[in-house]
A and B are shown apart, each in its own frame.
Chain A
Amino acid sequence: MRITGLAAFIGVSVVSLLLQSAPASAETDCKALVQPSPFGPDDQIGATNRVTPAVTKAAAAEIQTGVVTPMANELVDGVPLFGTRFSKTILTSFATLPGAEFGNNKLSYMEDTYLSQSHVGTHIDGIGHIGVQDCYYNQTPMGKYVTQNYLKKFGIENIKTFATRGVIIDAVRVFQAAGKLKANPACKNPCLDAGTLITEADLQAGLKMYNVTLREADAVFINTGWGDLFRQWPAQNATYNKGEPGISESAAQWLASEKVVAVGADTWAVEVVPGEREDIAFPVHKTLITDNGIHIIENARTDLIADAAAKSSRATFFLSMTVPKAVGLTGTFVNIEAIQ
C-alpha cells in the first residue's frame, strides 16, 4: 500500500510538474534569449516611452534659428534596394478625359497606389522587426501574435512619439581627426569604407567634438559618409548594398545604456557589415531593437546636418519625424527633418 501510495504521489507530482512546466518552458526560452523590457512585462511601446512632455519641451529649446535640414532621401524607383525588395507607385487618374470630368466645374483628380515593401528608402525599424528565433522584444514568444497580414503585437502604431532631441555624430570627421579615415574610392565625398568599425570611443569622440552629452530619450544619428553611394543611384547600388561602415555591438550596448530612443545612420543597417564575428547575424539590431526596444533608422540622409553642425558647431536639433499609425507593421519609410 505504501509503495502504491508513493508511486501514486510521485505520479501525481510528476504530472503536476509537467503541467506547470509546459507553458513556463516557452517563457524560459525567451528569457534566456532576450532581455526584459525596462517598461514592464506588457510593454509594446519600447524606448519611445522615454519621450515625456518634459523631454519634448526641452527638445523644443533646440529650435533657435528655425532652419530646417532634410534628413531623408527621396524614395524613387532606382534607389538601392535588396534583390527582392521593391517600391513602385501606380498613378491613377480620374475624369481627366475630355467629357469625363465631374460636374459643371469639370473637376478631375489623381491618386496613387503604393506597391512597396515597408523597409525601403529612409525607413524606421519597428520593434516587431527583429527577434531571436521566436523571441522578440520584451521576451515575447511571437508566434501567436503573427497573422498573414500583420503583427498583432509590436506594430508601429504603438510608437509613442519622436518629438525629442536629435544628435548628429559625425564619424567622418572623427576618423579624419584621428587620421584613420580609409575611404572607398566610389565615394565622391569623404566616407568610411565598408567594414569600418565605429566603436563606443569613436562615438564619444564625436560627441566631444561638439561638446554634447547624451540625454535620456535622445535620437542619435551617425554620419558615415556611406550615404554618398545611395545618392549615386543606380550606379553604386551594388557597392552600397555589399557592405557598410557601422557601429560595433559594444557601441550599441553603450548607446542603449545611455537610454536613447533611436539610432540612425546613412547606411542600410546602421551596424558594421561584414560584422565583427563572421558567424553572428546583425548583433546590433538584436541589441537595440530586441533587447532594448530602441528603433533603428536606416538610409537616413546625414551629410547635410553633419555639414550644418560643422558650420554652426551645433550638433543637436529638434527631431521632426512622424510615423504613420499603420497597424501591425514592422517598419515604414519616413521623412525626417532636423530643426535648429
Chain B
Amino acid sequence: MASRPVLGRRPFLAGLLACGLSAARAETKRFRIALANLDETPGVTLEGLGFTGSEVRSSFQLAARTLSVDMSYYDNAGDPARAIANAETAIAAKVDLLIEYNADARANDEIARRLAAAAIPAIALVDPLPGAPLYGPDNRAAGRIAGRALGAFARETWPDEQVRGVLIGDLADPGPAVSDRVHGITEGVQESLPSLKLASLDTGGQSMRADALLTRFLQTQRGERLLIATLDDLAAVYAKNAIEMNRRQTDCVIVSQGLDPNIHGGVSEKKEIDPNNRSSVVLGSVAYYVDRYGYDVLPLALRLLSGETLPPRTVTRHKLVTATNVFREYPPYDMN
C-alpha cells in the first residue's frame, strides 16, 4: 500500500516529461497562423465600444513577437463575402490555423465548412464559428460589474436618498452584446437597489449625442441622484460634459463599458480616468481588453495546435478600472 503512490508517481512523472518534450518540440516548430479581422476600416469601431480593428491586429502583432508563430493578416472589412474569400485565401496558403473574427453567422457557417474540408483548425473571435472554440467578452458579466459598482456607490454615498438610474448608449443596437450588457447592468445595480428604475437615453450610435440627451434629461430631473451607466466610453465623456455644464457633479456618477483609449491615457496624455483625476464624476469603466485579444488568443491557438482540446468558450477578463488602478492595468509608457 505504501509503495502505491510512488508507483503511481512514475507514470505521472513520465507523462510530465513527455509533455515537456512535446512542448519543447512545439516551441521549436513555427506555426503559420492567420487572423481574419472583423473590420480595419479607419474610423470603424468594434463591439459597440471605442476599439478599432487596427488595435486588434496590433495586439496580435505584439503578442506574436515572443511566440513561435508566423502571422498573416486579412481584413474582412465587415463584409461577409470578403470574409469567405479571405478564409479561402488562408486555406489556399495552407495556414496551420485560422482565427476568424466575423459577425455574419451565415458566412461563418460557410467558412467553417470550408475549413473542415481542408482540415484546418480555427478559433472564433467574439462571434461563433461552428465547431471552433470561441474567445470573446462576457457582456453580461461586464454589465453586472458596472451595475454593482453603481449600486455600491449609491449605498455608500447617498444612503436613504432618492436615486434613479440612467442608461446611455446605442440601445437600439440589434446585436446581442448591447442587450446582454444592459441586462447585466440592471441585474448588478438591482442587487443593491432592487426597486431602482432605469431611464433609457438612446444615442442611436452617435456617442456625442449623450451630451444633449443627458442635458435635456437633467433639466427634467431635479432633486434626484443619478446613477449613469454608459455603454461606451465616448458616451461617458460626453455625458460627463453635460453633467459639468449643468453643474450636477454632486448628483451624478458614471460607470462606463470598454476602457478604450477615449477614456484613459498616460502620464502625459491625460484622459478622464487618470490617477490625478480622482474627483471625476466618471467613477470608472469596465475593461474589455479588446486591444489585448492577441495576447490571450495566440496562446490558445498554440495549445490547440499542440493537440489540446480547448473549452468551447473562453471569456475575456473583465474588471472595473478606476483612477486608482488604471496605471496598473494599462502601464503608461509616455515617460522615460
Chain A positions near chain B (C-beta within 8 angstroms): 82-84, 119, 195, 197, 241, 243, 248, 268-269, 273-282, 298
Q: Which of B267, B328, B333, B335 interacts with A274 by CB under 8 Å? A: B333
Known: A248-B66, A278-B62. 5 other contacts (CB 8 A): A197-B65, A269-B336, A279-B329, A281-B331, A282-B333
Q: Kindly identify, within residues 63 to 95 of chain B, every residue whose CB is under 8 Å from any CB belonging to chain A.
A: 65-66
A199, chain B: closest CB distance, angstroms: 9
**Chain B residues within 8 Å of A82, by CB:** 267-268, 334-336
Give the docked Cα–Cα distance between A42 and B334 (Å).
33
Query: Does A276 lie within 8 Å of B269, measured CB to CB?
Result: no
Nearest chain-B residue to A125 (Cβ)? Answer: B336
B9, chain A: closest CB distance, angstroms: 31
Query: Does A274 lie within 8 Å of B336, measured CB to CB?
Result: no
Q: Can you list 8 A-B contacts with CB-CB less than 8 angstroms, sorted by A residue number?
A: A82-B267, A82-B335, A195-B61, A275-B333, A276-B66, A278-B295, A279-B331, A282-B333
Q: Which of B65, B66, B334 interacts with A83 by CB under 8 Å? A: B334
Nearest chain-A residue to B62 (Cβ)? Answer: A274
The interface centre, meaning the residue of A83, A84, A195 with most chain B CB atoms within 10 A of its CB, is A83
A139, chain B: closest CB distance, angstroms: 22
Give the docked Cα–Cα distance between A167 and B336 (Å).
23
**Chain A residues within 8 Å of B32, by CB:** none
Q: Does B292 contact A (CB under 8 A)?
A: yes
Nearest chain-A residue to B332 (Cβ)? Answer: A281
Nearest chain-B residue to A269 (Cβ)? Answer: B336
**Chain B residues within 8 Å of A268, by CB:** 336
A82-B268, A83-B269 known; A278+B292 contact, CB < 8 A: yes
Give the docked Cα–Cα distance between A133 and B268 (Å).
21
Q: Which of A83, A195, A269, A279 interacts with B62 by CB under 8 Å? A: A195
Interface 1/0s, chain B 318-336, versus A by CB < 8 A? 0000000001110111111
A82-B267, A278-B295 known; A273+B333 contact, CB < 8 A: yes
The interface centre, meaning the residue of A195, A268, A281 with most chain B CB atoms within 10 A of its CB, is A281
Query: Does B333 lie within 8 Å of A281, measured CB to CB?
Result: yes
Query: Does B292 lie within 8 Å of A83, measured CB to CB?
Result: no
**Chain B binding surface SS class:** loop
Give the docked Cα–Cα distance between A166 and B331 (Å).
32
Shortest 5 CB-CB contacts between residues of A and residues of B? A83-B268, A281-B331, A268-B336, A269-B336, A82-B268
Q: Which of A84, A195, A275, A298 interacts with B336 by CB under 8 Å? A: A298
Query: Does B331 lie within 8 Å of A195, measured CB to CB?
Result: no
Give the docked Cα–Cα distance between A229 and B336 (Å).
16
Query: Does B331 lie within 8 Å of A280, measured CB to CB?
Result: yes
Give the docked Cα–Cα distance between A82 and B267 (Å).
9
Nearest chain-A residue to B269 (Cβ)? Answer: A83
**Chain B residues within 8 Å of A282, by CB:** 331, 333
**Chain B residues within 8 Å of A197, by CB:** 65-66
A83-B267, A278-B292 known; A269+B333 contact, CB < 8 A: yes
Give the docked Cα–Cα distance between A278 and B269 (Å).
18
**Chain A residues within 8 Å of B332, by CB:** 281
**Chain B residues within 8 Å of A276, by CB:** 65-66
**Chain B residues within 8 Å of A269, by CB:** 333, 336
Interface 1/0s, chain B 291-321, versus A by CB < 8 A? 0100100000000000000000000000000
**Chain A residues within 8 Å of B327, by CB:** 281
Interface 1/0s, chain B 224-267, versus A by CB < 8 A? 00000000000000000000000000000000000000000001
Query: Does B66 lie within 8 Å of A241, measured CB to CB?
Result: no
Give the docked Cα–Cα distance between A269 and B62 (Å).
18
**Chain A residues within 8 Å of B295, by CB:** 277-278
Give the docked Cα–Cα distance between A274 and B61 (Å).
11
Give the docked Cα–Cα distance between A276 and B63 (Å).
7
Nearest chain-A residue to B295 (Cβ)? Answer: A278
B82, chain A: closest CB distance, angstroms: 27
**Chain A residues within 8 Å of B268, by CB:** 82-84
The interface centre, meaning the residue of B65, B268, B333, B336 with most chain A CB atoms within 10 A of its CB, is B336
A39, chain B: closest CB distance, angstroms: 26
**Chain A residues within 8 Å of B59, by CB:** 278
Give the docked Cα–Cα distance between A241 and B266 (Å).
12
Nearest chain-B residue to A275 (Cβ)? Answer: B333
Nearest chain-A residue to B329 (Cβ)? Answer: A279
A233, chain B: closest CB distance, angstroms: 15
**Chain B residues within 8 Å of A298, by CB:** 336
Give the docked Cα–Cα distance between A175 and B66 (Å).
16
**Chain A residues within 8 Å of B66, by CB:** 197, 248, 276
**Chain B residues within 8 Å of A243, by CB:** 333
B277, chain A: closest CB distance, angstroms: 15
Give the docked Cα–Cα distance between A83 and B65 (Å).
29
Give the docked Cα–Cα distance between A274 and B335 (Å).
13
**Chain B residues within 8 Å of A241, by CB:** 334
**Chain B residues within 8 Å of A280, by CB:** 331
Give the docked Cα–Cα distance between A275 and B332 (Å).
11
B72, chain A: closest CB distance, angstroms: 15
**Chain A residues within 8 Å of B331, by CB:** 275, 279-282
B325, chain A: closest CB distance, angstroms: 11
Give the docked Cα–Cα distance between A298 and B268 (Å).
19
Nearest chain-A residue to B66 (Cβ)? Answer: A276
A204, chain B: closest CB distance, angstroms: 18
**Chain B residues within 8 Å of A84, by CB:** 267-268
Nearest chain-B residue to A83 (Cβ)? Answer: B268
Nearest chain-B residue to A195 (Cβ)? Answer: B62
**Chain B residues within 8 Å of A281, by CB:** 327, 331-333
Give the docked Cα–Cα distance between A82 and B331 (Å).
16
Give the docked Cα–Cα distance between A263 and B209 (Å).
51
**Chain A residues within 8 Å of B62, by CB:** 195, 274, 278
Nearest chain-A residue to B294 (Cβ)? Answer: A278
B258, chain A: closest CB distance, angstroms: 16
